[in-house]
Chains A and B, each alone.
Chain A
């Protein structure tokens, strides 16, 4: 044998030795998520029945201008932060007299990084008084300057020099939505952090025998947030008025009473055309099929029909809680309000759904306010604030206020400077770090977390603006850090957190973790 060839050949002995090591090492690493799921499931066998917890994501689609949500409220003559606000926001500034003041605790850390010992007066948008009330009641907290990050960006100069890798396609809607929902900012990712968390939490906290429906429920169509990695925990989509049912079997479409043209109240098929068609369809679905594709299709349809029945029973059964959902949400009969009312009803009937852990996804669109920001944004915040307050009231009435945490997320914040000189039409454009809100009985509310950014733009001293000169704040807190606190509250341990948030360790510098100011749960 040629020596040249032989010297680079893997010997049988080397193969056996390295193969044994690989089977113990690499394979385990590759399948970390699947293995963790099995481990946590096995550990859960020894636990007593875990308490109920639910996470509710409110996604503000389009990029919420949070510069006009949590606002410096002092006198510009004596408050430098308010002066910077009025100077930078210009015609988009909200008059400080119209803001709803909030009580900022004296030991607030959120202003120290960028504003020294200043403890400025803060206020909430005039049309969102409910948020100020929730904050002052200790039910809601703000997390300042959160955004997508691939690595920490320590300074503006580091951004300008491209000293650290940045999130891919900053300022683009779809990419930033994907990165907020996946918590992976430096590469395309097919799963969301909610989906990855659900895969692990379902294994450890939910009993497969009693679980009747997926623990991931979306109220606004498919979301990448709830997409998992394995495909065996599929998000279930519910409309605000109930399950998605098969079309063509209703007397009146979208009246909330599905199949009333085909099925009698006792469950038997009606002797009508829709009744005969539905019976025929159900018979076909219950037949055995030799073709694997046909068999899988029938299985999915049969499972969807069964889940539909469970959701229907849960929504109907929520009435037995004695809570007047319609009354509580009477001032929040909006797109988001209707979604949250359905979530409240499903939580009320959690025993029917059979899960100890649930993750809900709700969404509000319209935040891409390139024009008429002042008017449009006011309407959006009014809807958001009213819906969140009604949801709080419903959860308190149900006695699950401490068990449900609601959080907001959005594509990005918007530019601090306006894009026009006409107050009637001016808007703001795509930016980066912004303020998020977290609400719930477990939240250490009435506080401001993260770090409130400097409101100086361009190259002014202390500025955390990008190169745009228009006020695109470089985030102090990564989506990973923000989301990890939420997942941790849901029960994810340190090993699970590493699997759910693969980049979290990049923000785990002992010199910065303590100053992250993120102990909101």
Chain B
């Protein structure tokens, strides 16, 4: 009891601070229209764009006429495919994944943003919708990393992994 009597002022001070901290806040006033505007401005968000129902064909798809066309070479073809892949990687934070069929499907629009980088028809596609070289053989895609893909053509002998293969190794 003596201790309480001697420290009466301190006890009152501590109790006051505790009450101040623990006392419930007054209920917030309902936001006015102006307040709602302030809140909206204070927390800007990227507009939520719903996924498009259809496929959006990009301008670059119109340039695919160069693929396997007379007057161009297989090196031009591979360079263009690499350009398409770089565009895809920029829009999707990385290259499409999988084998030729899956990568081609992604370039035709089967991707999260439904963007088409190639037209759905052309001499560069076979019946199974794989990207083929100018000798009619599907390209081989060798995924090194999210942003590096080696593209290999079987070359004039139409046989993959022989000495006349044409392969571009970006960054090498």
- How far in angstroms is the closest Cβ of chain B from A422? 8
- In A1-29, the 8 Å CB interface with B consists of 3-5, 7-8, 11, 13-14, 16-17
- Quick check: is B76 within 8 A (CB to CB) of the other chain? no
Establish whether residues A174 and B145, one from each chain, have CB atoms under 8 Å apart when the complex forms: yes
A433 shortest CB reach to chain B, Å = 15
A370 in contact with B161 given A4-B34, A16-B21 (CB within 8 Å) = yes
Given contacts A16-B21, A17-B21, A169-B145, contact A8 B102 (CB under 8 A): no
Contact partner of B161 among A168, A169, A172, A425, CB < 8 A?
A425
- From residue A173, how far is it (CB to closest CB) to chain B in Å? 5
The answer to whether the Cβ of A470 comes within 8 Å of any Cβ in the partner chain is: yes
Question: A308 interface residue, CB < 8 Å from B?
Answer: no
Q: Which of A11, A168, A171, A371 contacts B98 (CB 8 A)?
A: A171
One of B5-13, B24-32, B49-57, B119-127 at the interface: B24-32
- Asked whether B97 lies within 8 Å of A170 as measured between CB atoms, the reply is yes
A430 interface hit (Cβ, 8 Å): yes
Q: Does B84 contact A (CB under 8 A)?
A: no
Q: A13-B20, A430-B143 are in contact. Are A4 and B32 (CB under 8 A)?
A: yes
- Whether A13 pairs with B21 at a CB distance below 8 angstroms is yes
Q: Does B68 contact A (CB under 8 A)?
A: no
- In the complex, whether B61 has a CB less than 8 A from a CB of chain A is no
A210 within 8 A of B: no
**Does any Cβ of A come within 8 Å of B91's Cβ?**
no
| Inter-subunit contact A470/B99 (CB<8 Å) | yes
Q: Which residues of A contact B23 (CB under 8 A)?
A: 13
Judge whether A427 is part of the interface by a CB distance below 8 angstroms. yes
Check B98 against A172 for contact (C-beta < 8 Å).
no
- Chain A 179-202 near chain B by CB (<8 Å), digits 1 or 0: 000000000000000000000000
- Are A429 and B99 in contact, with the CB atoms below 8 A? yes
Interface residues of B in 88-114 (CB under 8 A from A): 94-95, 97-99, 101-102
B29/A172 in contact, CB under 8 A: no
List the A residue with the shortest CB-CB distance to B36: A4
Q: Which residues of B contact A16 (CB under 8 A)?
A: 21
Tell which of B39, B95, B99, B161 touches A427, judged by Cβ atoms closer than 8 Å.
B161
**Contact between A172 and B31 (Cβ–Cβ < 8 Å)?**
no
A229 in the interface (beta carbon within 8 A): no
The yes or no answer to A175 lying at the interface (CB within 8 A) is yes
B58 part of interface (Cβ distance < 8 Å): no
Residue ID in chain B nearest A470 by CB atoms: B99
Q: A4-B35, A7-B28 are in contact. Are A171 and B161 (CB under 8 A)?
A: no
Contacts of A468 in B (CB 8 A): 98-99, 101-102
Cβ of B38 within 8 Å of any chain A Cβ, yes or no, is yes
Q: Which of B21, B28, B95, B161 has the most CB of A within 10 A?
A: B161
The reply on A108 being an interface residue by CB < 8 A is: no
B2 within 8 A of A: no
Judge if A420 is at the interface, Cβ distance under 8 Å. Answer: yes
Contact B29 A7 (CB under 8 A): yes
Q: B92 to chain A: closest CB distance in Å?
A: 11
Contact of B143 (CB < 8 Å), options: A5, A13, A172: A172
Closest to B142 in A: A370
**For residues 138 through 173 of chain A, which have their beta carbon under 8 Å from a beta carbon of chain B?**
168-173
Q: Which B residues lie within 8 Å of A14 (CB)?
A: 25
Q: With an 8 A cutoff between CB atoms, is B146 at the interface?
A: yes
* B144–A8 touching, CB < 8 Å: no
Q: Which residues of A contact B146 (CB under 8 A)?
A: 168-169, 172, 174-175
Task: Report the bound CA distance from A8 to B42 in whole Å.
Answer: 11
Q: How far is the CB of B138 from chain A (nearest CB, A)?
A: 10
Decide: B144 and A173 in contact? CB cutoff 8 A: yes
A15 to chain B, nearest CB (A): 11
Q: Which residue of B lies closest to A16 (CB)?
A: B21
Minimum CB–CB distance for A386 against chain B, Å = 28
**CB contact under 8 A between A169 and B21, given known A3-B29, A427-B161:** no
Task: Indicate with 1 or 0, residue by residue over A345-370, a CB within 8 angstroms of chain B CB atoms.
Answer: 00000000000000000000000001
Residue of A nearest to B146 (CB): A169
A467 contacts partner chain B, Cβ-Cβ < 8 Å: yes
Interface status of B160 (Cβ within 8 A of chain A): yes
CA distance A17 to B20 in the complex (A): 11
Determine the distance from Cα of A168 to Cα of B34 in the docked complex, in whole angstroms.
44
Q: What does the 1/0 interface line of B123-157 toward A look like (CB < 8 Å)?
A: 00000000000000000101111101000000000
Q: In the complex, what residues of B have CB within 8 A of residue A427's CB? A: 161
B161 and A420 within 8 A (CB):
yes
Name the CB-closest residue of B to A7. Answer: B29
Q: Using A467-B102, A468-B99 as known contacts, say yes or no to A4 and B38 having CB atoms under 8 A apart.
A: yes
State in angstroms the CA–CA spacing of A171 and B142 once bound together: 9
Using Cβ atoms and an 8 Å threshold, which residues of chain B touch A61? none
Q: Chain B residue with minimal CB distance to A166?
A: B97
| Cβ–Cβ contact B161 & A371, under 8 A | yes
Shortest Cβ gap from B127 to chain A (Å): 15
- Tell me which of B28, B97, B98, B102 has the highest count of chain A C-beta atoms within 10 A of its own C-beta: B97
Q: How far is the CA of A316 from the CA of B97 in the complex (A)?
A: 49
Point out which of A4, A8, A466 has the most chain B C-beta atoms below 10 A from its C-beta. A4
Least CB separation from B162: chain A residue: A425
| Interface check A211, CB cutoff 8 A | no
Instruction: For B39, list chain A residues within 8 Å (CB).
Output: 8
Q: For residue B32, which residues in chain A have a CB less than 8 angstroms away from its CB? A: 4
Task: Specify the chain B residue showing the minimal Cβ separation from A11.
Answer: B25
Binding site for A on B (CB under 8 A): 20-21, 23, 25, 28-29, 31-32, 34-35, 38-39, 42, 94-95, 97-99, 101-102, 140, 142-146, 148, 159-162
What 16 new A-B contacts, CB under 8 Å, besides A168-B94, A174-B146, A468-B101?
A4-B38, A5-B38, A7-B31, A7-B35, A8-B38, A8-B39, A13-B21, A14-B25, A17-B21, A169-B143, A172-B95, A371-B161, A419-B160, A429-B140, A430-B143, A468-B102
28 A-B residue pairs with CB within 8 Å: A3-B29, A4-B32, A4-B34, A5-B38, A7-B28, A7-B29, A8-B39, A8-B42, A11-B25, A16-B21, A169-B146, A172-B145, A173-B143, A174-B144, A175-B146, A370-B142, A370-B161, A371-B161, A419-B161, A420-B159, A420-B160, A422-B159, A425-B161, A427-B161, A430-B143, A467-B101, A467-B102, A468-B99
